[in-house]
Each structure stands twice: as structure tokens, then as C-alpha cells.
Structure 1
Amino acid sequence: MKLSPLDIRHHEFPGKFGGYDRPSVRQFLTDVAEELEELLQERQAMQERTQELERRIEEMKTQEDEIRRTLVAAERMGHDLRETAARESEVILAQANVFRDAIHNDAQARSTELEAAHQSRISALELAFRGRFADLEREQHQLILERERAQAERMADLERIFSDRHSDLTARLASARQEYAQFLSGYRALVSSFGELSARHILPEESAPLERPTLPTTPLPTIEPGLPELPAAPEARGPDVQGPDAQVPPRIEEQQFL
């Protein structure tokens, strides 16, 4: 008896006292029906898959025959191609040898031509270098001459400026010496007069030692920077008030200012 899932779901059992629980039996029948339905679907799918595989096997058998025929034809074509390739390779090899010889000859000719052009270029560059080097030597010599001329002119200007400045400073120094001598002479005369006046107006019992007047320092004319400066005027004392520690004013030598 062949049952379907629908038959199992709707199957009715006769009632009997003390029988099985109806809901449990119904649930079991439902589960069995679903399981059977799944199995039937799987079997149907397997049958369809089997049919598909059988169809593909037939197709593959047909393709196998075609492949065999194709292989035979390919072997025949391969043999023909090998023979044709051998003949063509011999022809290509011969052409390549001819082309190689032509390239070799052309390369040799080109190399000879380039070598000649290279030597010519080297000669031209050497001549240009020698000419340029000679020009540079002349320019350098001219620059050296111009520099020496400029240095000589500069030295002459400096010597002239130094000579003018030396003459000016010498004149100023002579004037300063003269002014200093005049000042010293006047100061000594003033100190001498002061001593005489003091001796006349002071009584013998009231006489006291005179204070030693100090010679005020008078700055000499300023000498411009870069040359020796004149020494400051020393303190001079009169002939009547000079003590044991009095110093004679130093003599100004001309060598100090040259």
C-alpha cells in the first residue's frame, strides 16, 4: 500500500476504551507526514539529479568522440605544422644570417664614421681650448696689470694724504710747543712776582712757610686719532717756591711726535 503525506495526516483510527492519546497520535502522524514529504522531495530531487547526470554523461560521450576526432586532426595538423615550422625556421635562419651580416657591415662602417667624427671633434675642441686658454691668460695678465696700477695709484694717494697730514700735524705740533713755552715762561714770571710780593708784605715774626702753588694743567691742542697725543703739561713750580721734591719739566723731544 503506497501512502502519501496527505493520507497520513488525515488517517483516522477507530476509538477504543483505554486507547492512545488522540492529540499525541495526531502530532505523531503530522511529524511522520512531514518527514515522509521531505523524503519524497529528496527522492524527487535525486531522480532529477540522476537524469541530469545521465544526460550530461551522454553529452560527454558525444564530446569524447568529438575530442578524439579533434585529437587525431590536431596530431595531423601538428605534424604538418612541425614540418612547415622546420622549413620556415630554415628560411628565417638564412634571412637572419644575411641580416646579421648586413648589420655587422653597417655597424663597422658606422663605427669608422663615428671614430673619424670623434677625432675631428676632439681636434676642434682642443684648438678651441687652446685659444680660450690663451685668451684667459691674456685677460688674467691684463687684470693683474690693472690691479697693480690701481694699487700703485692707491699707494700714491695714501702717501700724498700721509704727507699732507704729517705736514699739518708737524705745524700744529710746533705751534703747540710754542704756546706751551710761552705759557711756561709767563707762569714762571707770575710765580716769581708772587714770591717777591709775599716777601715784602709778611713780617718776620709772622712769617710762615709759603704753600707750594701747583701748576694748573692746561690741555694742549687735540691731536687727531691715529697719531701720538701730546703729553699733558707737567706741574711747574716757581724758582722761589721749588722744594726738594720739585721735578724739572720734561723736555719735549721731537722724536716723541714723529
Structure 2
Amino acid sequence: MPLTPLDIHNKEFTRAFRGYDEDEVNEFLDQVIKDYEAVLREKKELFEQVTSLEEKLDHFNNIEETLNKSILVAQEAAEELRRNAQKESQLIVKEAEKNANRIVNDALTKSRKVMMEMEELKKQASVYKMRFKMLIEAQLEMLATDDWDEFAGDQSNDEVVFEEEKA
């Protein structure tokens, strides 16, 4: 068991003939007591300081652990967000491709329909042209016949009669 300042203070030495000077020994012991008390006080302060620092260290270790967990959670959340964004972008691309295909198919269908209508109009124009040509040819043929000359001669008499009636 270590000595206490009180043990040192209460220590009594046996008297011997021609021993040490009692006042000198007492002065030395008083100095030892003061130094020993200072050392014990310093030891107590250092122990309290170590205890306080250990508590702070535990606190900071807890903070570090919490931060590490938070970082892991944040990394997992970021990874999940990245995966979700990637899936969403793939869905958007697929939807855009479907829309593009639909638009292209609609355009092709309309183009075919317009082409068919154009072909039908070309046929109708060709039929119209052929009928018109046949009508003109028939009219020319009719003009080329002798019957027209007879009709033209009769008409001049009709014009004279028509003019006389006016007057």
C-alpha cells in the first residue's frame, strides 16, 4: 500500500544516540510531504483529465461510427437512385422508340394511302382524257360528214327568215 502524506507526517523515528538532527529531518519530511501531496494532486488531476479525454474519445468514436453508417446509407441511397434513374431512362427510351415506330408506321400508312389516291386520280384523269378525246373525235367526225353541209345550207335560209321577222 502506497504512503499517504499523513503517513509521512505521522512517522516517528526511534531516538538513537548521536542520530540525525531532528529539526533537519522534520524539515526534510515536511518538504517530502508537500512534494508528495503535489504529486498526488497532479496524479488525481491527470486521472480526471484522462477520464474526460476518454469520454470525449468515446463520444467522437460514436460520432465517427454514426458518420460511417450515414455515409454507407447515403451511398446505398445514391446507388439505388442511380439504378432507378437508369431504369426510368430505359423505360423512356423504349417508350420513345415505340412512339417513333408508331409515327413512322402512321406516316408510311398515310404515304401509301396518298400514293393509292394519286394512282386512282391518274387513272381517272386518263379515263377522262380518253373520253374527252373520243368526244372530240366524234365531234370532228360529225363535222367532217356531208350532213353538216346540208344543215349549214338550211341554216342560212333560217337566218334570213329570222332577220326578216325582226324587222
The Cα offsets for residues 70-111 of structure 1, whole Å up to 9 and x where unpaired, read as xxxxxxxxxxxxxxxxxxxxxxxxxxxxxxx69x83753443
Determine if the alignment matches structure 1 residue 122 to structure 2 residue 97: no
Which residue of structure 1 aligns with residue 77 of structure 2? 132
- TM-score scaled to structure 1, two decimals? 0.35
For residues 9-20 of structure 1, the aligned pairs below 5 Å read: none
Determine if the alignment matches structure 1 residue 164 to structure 2 residue 109: yes
Amino acid at match of 2:84: E
Tell me the secondary structure at the aligned position of residue 70 of structure 2.
helix
* Mapped partners of 1:190, 1:144: distance in 2: 67
Unaligned segments of structure 1, at least 5 residues: 1-100, 207-258
Unaligned segments of structure 2, at least 5 residues: 1-44, 154-167
Amino acid at match of 1:197: M
- Work out which structure has the larger RCO, using CA pairs closer than 8 Å and 6 or more positions apart in sequence: 2
Amino acid at match of 2:59: L
The Cα offsets for residues 171-202 of structure 1, whole Å up to 9 and x where unpaired, read as 22211110010001111222222333345436
Aligned-residue identity in percent: 6
Which residue of structure 2 aligns with residue 147 of structure 1? 92
The Cα offsets for residues 220-243 of structure 1, whole Å up to 9 and x where unpaired, read as xxxxxxxxxxxxxxxxxxxxxxxx
Give RMSD over aligned pairs. Answer: 3.0
Amino acid at match of 1:182: V
Determine if the alignment matches structure 1 residue 176 to structure 2 residue 121: yes
Q: How far 1:150 moved relative to its partner?
A: 1.3
Number of corresponding residues: 104
* Mapped partners of 2:59, 2:136: distance in 1: 109
Q: How far 1:161 moved relative to its partner?
A: 2.0
For residues 26-175 of structure 1, the aligned pairs below 5 Å read: 105=49, 108-175=53-120
* Mapped partners of 2:82, 2:133: distance in 1: 74
> Which structure: larger Rg?
1
* Mapped partners of 1:147, 1:197: distance in 2: 73
Tell me the secondary structure at the aligned position of residue 155 of structure 1.
helix
* Mapped partners of 1:148, 1:196: distance in 2: 70
